[in-house]
Amino acid sequence: MTTRRPIYLDCDTGIDDALALAYLLASPLASVVGIGTVSGNVSAAVGARNTLDLLALAGAADVPVALGANDPLAASFHGGAPWVHGSNGVGEVELPASGASLAAESAAAMLVRLARAYTGELRVVAIGPLTNIARALELEPSLVQSVTIMGGAALAPGSITPVAEANIWHDPEAAALVLAADWDVTLVPLDVTMASVLEETHRQALLASSAPVPRALGEMLAYYFRFYEGIYGRPCSAMHDPLAAALAVGAVKAALAPVVHAAVDTSDGPGRGQTVCDMRGLYAGYPPVKGARCRVVLSLEDDFGPHLVETLLGHFEGTTAALAEAGSVA
Amino acid sequence: MTTRRPIYLDCDTGIDDALALAYLLASPLASVVGIGTVSGNVSAAVGARNTLDLLALAGAADVPVALGANDPLAASFHGGAPWVHGSNGVGEVELPASGASLAAESAAAMLVRLARAYTGELRVVAIGPLTNIARALELEPSLVQSVTIMGGAALAPGSITPVAEANIWHDPEAAALVLAADWDVTLVPLDVTMASVLEETHRQALLASSAPVPRALGEMLAYYFRFYEGIYGRPCSAMHDPLAAALAVGAVKAALAPVVHAAVDTSDGPGRGQTVCDMRGLYAGYPPVKGARCRVVLSLEDDFGPHLVETLLGHFEGTTAALAEAGSVA
């Protein structure tokens, strides 16, 4: 039997955050021990509400959810990206309201507590702006853990600007602290997430499910696909956040992931929010770089879409069937 | 018969500048009507001396050479790149000293004069920092011409920094003015020049020539190859400047060259000197962008190395043979 890795998920739920959360609940390699929310796709508060509702729908209302930072370190929250994720963050899909409450602690405090409770074991999966992770570093600078970040762009174009990806652009000062901290970071940038495309056939498979979580995700993705149709020229989407989750738990392997020096542009120039990754080893096949700490995932061994859909359907259809059977026995 | 296009070459000669100059002299599509020098690989003064010596060796001492800016617009010249080009700029090769003098005008004044003399026809090939071109724009803001620039990096890594290429990094303020000016620019960035590799077989073909110019270039390239061995892991080199020259005269065709918005990072952040090209159309095959003026060459129809070597050998061995024959008849 495989040991499940304890996961702290930091998110701004968000359609692809919802996919990542459902994936982590479904994965036999993960045990989600805590979730913090942060403003990004939506406000931290709306993201927390969406997270609680999704957990309830998934039969995982026992996972604690902590509210995180509303504002980035050096600015005020800009209001989110309703044109990508809908005004409610989940593509205008109405999820059944969970009765669960938020944890009494902040997201940063939860992360510090979990890092102590699962010393050397906790994996941090950060799929929103890095404000909470930076705050946790302030609370405990020696918070040495494995951190996987969906964010940035190494050689690929940016999303919010020609060179800046949304999560990093939203709070460059926090990202700069996180990338400069004394830990190993895996960056899952647009280079690999934009190349990992969820197609309409995948969405239809989710919609056709007997289980409510895959169906809700398939409905949300209709909204997400409409935004990405303007980028790819066909209805489909990138798989930013769930890919970071799958890489963090080791279910998906990187084909090319050089470890390089990386910094974040916190200037007010046109590069603000860019992850400045030193990819100059490209021409010699990325030889090892002394002192480098940032692993930048550039490509995958296998296509991610089928694994994502199979994992979601396999888990949620199984639990739904078990619940139905339990109900019929009772 | 093909009409030769009048060319103003702005250079910082430089080993690959020497290749570009020799290529333009050899090309049946080009007529070099003036050359300005600028500090970059070497000082503007050393670059001018190298240019005069190369012109004399090539039997083209009648081409006027004007001294350009020693310092970038907002700083002092940093001293060049002897580790790439040698202390004399031409890989420690000793060229026969030309007796020719520099033009009485500045490089910027020469460019303005030639733009007027060849209205709508002059092609500017800029293969060094863009200081002279920016100065010429100051002299005549309506200097509307075709400008081909070797410089920048769109999706490829930088050279001097993780994101900045040497020519742009050397004078970002000048590059910003040139990219913002009211003309169409073709940018020949590291994306395509680093993928255009001159191999040892090409160098040997130049060394084996009966003509002095190809032989001198082959000797210089030994130095250049040693620098690039640290980048490619084998003795070879990029073909930055000659490729820009060949694209400018139309001898080489781009396979992919989207026209996009481009700006230069003039901040003091880690992005300083980056050409911030908006490549976000990538995922839909680069649809047309309204108002965009910067054509960014990303790939070529054909391998450039054979064309470069054949053009150099064809021209210079022909002129050398003709000179020898004329000598034996006399």
What are the angstrom distances between the C-alpha of B120 and each of A98, B114, B124, B247, B311? Answer: 70, 10, 11, 18, 27
Share of residues in chain A with pLDDT > 90 (%): 92
Across A144-149, average pLDDT: 87
Taking an 8 Å cut-off on Cβ atoms, the answer to whether A277 and B155 are in contact is no
- Residue numbers in A near B268 (CB within 8 A): 267
Q: Say if residue A328's pLDDT is above 80.
A: no
What are the angstrom distances between the C-alpha of A180 and each of A151, A173, B88, B165? Answer: 15, 11, 40, 24
**Residues ≥6 apart with Cβ < 8 Å to A293:** A183, A184, A185, A259, A261
Across A193-208, average pLDDT: 98
Nearest chain B Cα distance for residue A279, angstroms? 6
Choose the closest CB to B267 out of A271, A282, A284.
A271
Give CA angle at A299 (A294, A301), nearest 5°: 120
Q: Say if residue A330's pLDDT is above 60.
A: no
Q: Say if residue A2's pLDDT is above 70.
A: no
Type of residue at B129: P
Q: Say if residue A261's pLDDT is above 70.
A: yes
Q: Mutating which of A266, A276, A286, A296 best tests the B interface, going by the most B Cβ atoms within 10 A?
A: A276
Across A216-239, average pLDDT: 98
Residue of A nearest to B196 (CA): A283
Helices (H) and strands (E) in chain A, counts: 12, 14
Q: Mutating which of B227, B239, B276 best tests the A interface, going by the most A Cβ atoms within 10 A?
A: B276
**Residues ≥6 apart with Cβ < 8 Å to A282:** A155, B156, B157
Type of residue at B308: L
The DSSP element (H or E) to which A186 belongs, if any, is strand A185-188
pLDDT in tens, chain B (330 residues): 568 999 999 999 999 999 999 999 999 999 999 999 999 999 999 999 999 999 999 999 999 999 999 999 999 999 999 999 999 999 999 999 999 999 999 999 999 999 999 999 999 999 999 999 999 999 998 887 789 999 999 999 999 999 999 999 999 999 999 999 989 899 999 999 999 999 999 999 999 999 999 999 999 999 999 999 999 999 999 999 999 999 999 999 999 999 999 999 999 999 999 999 999 999 999 999 999 999 999 999 999 999 999 999 999 999 888 878 887 654
ipTM above 0.85, yes or no: yes
- Domain boundaries of chain B, sorted by first residue: 5-329
* pLDDT score, position A1: 52
CATH number of A5-329: 3.90.245.10
Choose the closest CB to A271 out of B265, B278, B283.
B265
* pLDDT score, position B277: 98
Q: What is the dihedral of CA A213, A215, A217, A222, to 10 degrees?
A: -170
Question: Checking DSSP bridges between strand A299-300 and strand A254-256, what pairing results, if any?
Answer: antiparallel
What pTM value is reported for the model?
0.95
Question: Closest Cα partner for A178 from A201, A151, A205, A155?
Answer: A151
Which residues, in sequence order, are bridge partners of residue A198? A237
* pLDDT score, position A319: 84
Residue A4 C-alpha from the chain's centroid: 18
Residue of B nearest to A195 (CA): B283
Q: What backbone torsions phi and psi does residue A74 show, to the nearest 5 degrees?
A: -120, 20
Residue of B nearest to A196 (CA): B283
* pLDDT score, position B330: 42
Residues of A with a known catalytic role: 12, 240
- Residue numbers in A near B280 (CB within 8 A): 157-159, 162, 231
Mean per-residue pLDDT over chain A, rounded: 96
Taking an 8 Å cut-off on Cβ atoms, the answer to whether A276 and B159 are in contact is no
- Tokens 């090319």 belong to A256
End-to-end C-alpha distance for chain A, whole angstroms? 30
The span from the CA of B156 to the CA of B140, in Å, is 33
Across A237-265, average pLDDT: 98
Question: Checking DSSP bridges between strand A299-300 and strand A197-199, what pairing results, if any?
Answer: unpaired
Choose the closest CB to A269 out of B162, B269, B278.
B269
Taking an 8 Å cut-off on Cβ atoms, the answer to whether A157 and B232 are in contact is no
Contact A134, A95 (CB under 8 A): no
pLDDT in tens, A88-132: 999 999 999 999 999 999 999 999 999 999 999 999 999 999 999
The span from the CA of A26 to the CA of A59, in Å, is 11
pLDDT in tens, A287-324: 999 999 999 999 999 999 999 999 999 999 998 888 78
- The answer to whether B265 is a known catalytic residue is no
Choose the closest CB to B274 out of A155, A271, A285.
A271
User: From the candidates B85, B202, B240, B307, which is the catalytic residue?
Assistant: B240
Q: Say if residue A75's pLDDT is above 70.
A: yes
- Residue numbers in B near A194 (CB within 8 A): 283
The answer to whether the peptide bond before residue B14 is cis (omega within 30 degrees of 0) is: yes
